[in-house]
Chains A and B, each alone.
Chain A
């Protein structure tokens, strides 16, 4: 009887998978904050993913199976993210989820994907997403502390040891602040100021005046637009002469445009290589991928590609690579992603392992400098 049951269930499983194969499509879900405060992340991510899926399907899909994409908008709201993730898993029966765009949404749905055993490739930067490692959760943006470390190494090389922090009071800024503080202690820096501002603040001269009164040799501002642009203008207004560093969160032309080329002159920041890909050496392993992505994006949408869209690009490539290598069930995709070695993405070279579900290192970033309204590699 027992044997009979086993055969029967095996047959049922086979029937099930046959049915899935007969359908001929691979159902992939995506959660992005397309509207709401984090729309600057979600929108390029959505566009990127739509472009890539269209492209891949036009080329015949993966081993003949087309991709069917289900994109939902979380609006940056963790409750909505939870509802939509449930919908993707239960109704749309997706085999993997790409996104969400922000750390809060991602943290909210982690318990769900772990329980339902659906691989999640997050496009959010927060370090706690993959630290500690969760079996079903991966992420493509480099950890904040990788960018922070790159930045502090640069400051160290320039012998700027007294550092003033100015961070935005949202999740991005505060995560950066914690990482920088921990790293600064470890690397022997002295923090002479630790100021914050709100995401919608329109004037930071008070904080900067305070910093001007300290012995700071460098200012590190950690935030996403428009705050850092205001800081940049205020630094110029107050006539502060010490160097201003920004985070990778403003590594786009938009930042220079908002701050004004004159005020932004000389600002240095760690940026994903996409920002300066045309200035990279031809021998750089990412050179080709970055160029192709940027040109395809320009062709489809008429604007330059952003690092943020790159997060979705890499998440999709990871999933595709896993399906090609090991198969299209959730379990196979998860195992496939974990076995990825040196996959060339927009954010860097991904090498996953059971203990590292992000897979990027310091080489994901380049130090860049604003020179005459454009980015140059910083020496």
Chain B
């Protein structure tokens, strides 16, 4: 295997892992843009998507479509309840207390999932076969193509929702100025709820499509959530291409770092990038200092 072929494989591996990070990162960005909250329970939504699908599909033996739909719906309900029961009752929300609440919520969800479904790692069947696809001397799994495809679809749907529907526009208005938005008759609290609904549904979907590759267990949300958060930070918390590029960049650097430098530093590379960006360009790599964030 020559170096060029190796580099191609590193690039493909990096991009396919990066797409996973991007998809999870988008969930962070949407809630942040509508509410200013960084929802650290986002990783748990991803976990719920995978674990619930496994539960419906393998344990209850429902058909695949019903199982996946059911998992998305159940996670969305949990996301909405999470907002209603923990975020909304807060009298004087400060960013710090909100962040701590979401961390607490994530630990709670993780604990309940562990009690209900046990601690074993579970695998899900891939959507379309296990035969690797060879591209330019490198290989990817068919499931990776699903991830790329669905990530693109999600971005397109996001763009459409936020720019061409009245609700989407209302959510953007809330992110610019909550007071002004409420003065023109937008129900800000409803928009916050909506943002949790959207991002928990997205998280669940991400969890479902990555589970056949990464497997799923009650505790997968922690690391995936953290990497998704990195992706969103690199992308400047944009809910569009910024975060996607952030995720792909992160995956690529991890993979090249592991391949060319040392695999011992793989996670260190991700978090050094995160720190550098927070120090040097807190607005993200791809945005100017004062741009709209949706």
- The reply to whether B132 and A237 contact each other, CB–CB distance below 8 Å, is yes
- The reply to whether B130 and A206 contact each other, CB–CB distance below 8 Å, is no
| Complex interface bits, B10-37 against A, C-beta within 8 A gives 1, otherwise 0 | 1011101100100000000000000000
Query: B267 interface residue, CB < 8 Å from A?
Result: yes
Given contact pairs A198-B266, A236-B132, A239-B132, A254 touches B6 in the complex (Cβ within 8 A): no
Q: Give the residues in chain B near A43, CB-CB below 8 Å.
A: 119
Query: A230 interface residue, CB < 8 Å from B?
Result: yes
- The reply to whether B215 and A254 contact each other, CB–CB distance below 8 Å, is no
* A236 CA to B132 CA, complexed, in Å: 8
CB contact between B267 and one of A198, A203, A206, A260 (< 8 Å): that residue:
A198
Query: A341 interface residue, CB < 8 Å from B?
Result: no
- The reply to whether B259 and A210 contact each other, CB–CB distance below 8 Å, is yes
Q: Give the residues in chain B near A200, CB-CB below 8 Å.
A: 219-220, 222-223
- The reply to whether B123 and A229 contact each other, CB–CB distance below 8 Å, is yes
CB contact between B123 and one of A39, A213, A260 (< 8 Å): that residue:
A260
Query: A257 interface residue, CB < 8 Å from B?
Result: yes
Query: A67 interface residue, CB < 8 Å from B?
Result: no
* A201 CA to B20 CA, complexed, in Å: 12
- The reply to whether B214 and A203 contact each other, CB–CB distance below 8 Å, is yes
Given contact pairs A202-B213, A207-B258, A226 touches B6 in the complex (Cβ within 8 A): no
Query: B243 interface residue, CB < 8 Å from A?
Result: no
Q: Give the residues in chain B near A202, CB-CB below 8 Å.
A: 17, 20, 210, 213-215, 224
* A226 CA to B10 CA, complexed, in Å: 22
Given contact pairs A200-B222, A206-B10, A212-B1, A262 touches B259 in the complex (Cβ within 8 A): no
Query: A162 interface residue, CB < 8 Å from B?
Result: no
- The reply to whether B9 and A209 contact each other, CB–CB distance below 8 Å, is yes
Shortest distance in angstroms between B269's beta carbon and chain A's nearest beta carbon? 11
* A239 CA to B9 CA, complexed, in Å: 12
* A257 CA to B3 CA, complexed, in Å: 34
Q: Give the residues in chain B near A86, CB-CB below 8 Å.
A: none
Query: B255 interface residue, CB < 8 Å from A?
Result: yes
- The reply to whether A35 and B114 contact each other, CB–CB distance below 8 Å, is yes
- The reply to whether A203 and B16 contact each other, CB–CB distance below 8 Å, is yes
- The reply to whether A196 and B13 contact each other, CB–CB distance below 8 Å, is no
Q: Which residue of B lies closest to A202 (CB)?
A: B214
Q: Size range of the interface on A?
A: 35 or more
Q: Give the residues in chain B near A254, CB-CB below 8 Å.
A: 120-121
Q: Size range of the interface on B?
A: 35 or more
Query: B185 interface residue, CB < 8 Å from A?
Result: no
* A276 CA to B213 CA, complexed, in Å: 29
* A203 CA to B213 CA, complexed, in Å: 8
Q: Give the residues in chain A near B12, CB-CB below 8 Å.
A: 205
| Complex interface bits, B117-146 against A, C-beta within 8 A gives 1, otherwise 0 | 001111100000010100000011100000
* A209 CA to B14 CA, complexed, in Å: 12
* A206 CA to B120 CA, complexed, in Å: 26
- The reply to whether B120 and A40 contact each other, CB–CB distance below 8 Å, is yes
Query: A258 interface residue, CB < 8 Å from B?
Result: yes
Given contact pairs A230-B215, A237-B139, A203 touches B119 in the complex (Cβ within 8 A): no
Query: B264 interface residue, CB < 8 Å from A?
Result: yes
A residues 333-369 near B (Cβ < 8 Å) are none
- The reply to whether B9 and A205 contact each other, CB–CB distance below 8 Å, is yes
Query: A111 interface residue, CB < 8 Å from B?
Result: no
Q: Give the residues in chain A near B122, CB-CB below 8 Å.
A: 258
Query: B263 interface residue, CB < 8 Å from A?
Result: yes
- The reply to whether A238 and B123 contact each other, CB–CB distance below 8 Å, is no
* A212 CA to B255 CA, complexed, in Å: 15
- The reply to whether B6 and A210 contact each other, CB–CB distance below 8 Å, is yes
* A233 CA to B111 CA, complexed, in Å: 29
Query: B51 interface residue, CB < 8 Å from A?
Result: no
Query: B188 interface residue, CB < 8 Å from A?
Result: no
B residues 126-169 near A (Cβ < 8 Å) are 130, 132, 139-141
Q: Give the residues in chain A near B10, CB-CB below 8 Å.
A: 206, 209
Shortest distance in angstroms between A230's beta carbon and chain B's nearest beta carbon? 7
Query: B217 interface residue, CB < 8 Å from A?
Result: yes
Q: Give the residues in chain A near B223, CB-CB below 8 Å.
A: 198, 200
Given contact pairs A200-B220, A200-B223, A210-B6, A257 touches B123 in the complex (Cβ within 8 A): yes
| Complex interface bits, B250-263 against A, C-beta within 8 A gives 1, otherwise 0 | 00001110110001
Q: Which residue of B lies closest to A198 (CB)?
A: B267
A residues 199-243 near B (Cβ < 8 Å) are 200-203, 205-207, 209-210, 212-213, 225-226, 229-230, 236-239
**Could you write out 14 A-B pairs with CB less than 8 Å apart?**
A40-B120, A195-B263, A196-B264, A202-B20, A202-B215, A202-B224, A203-B17, A206-B266, A229-B123, A237-B141, A238-B139, A258-B121, A258-B122, A258-B215
Which B residues form the contact surface with A (CB < 8 A)? Answer: 1-3, 6, 9-10, 12-14, 16-17, 20, 114, 119-123, 130, 132, 139-141, 210, 213-215, 217, 219-220, 222-224, 254-256, 258-259, 263-264, 266-267
Please list the 6 inter-chain residue pairs (A to B) with the smallest Cβ-Cβ separation, ordered nearest first: A202-B214, A205-B13, A200-B223, A206-B258, A226-B121, A209-B9
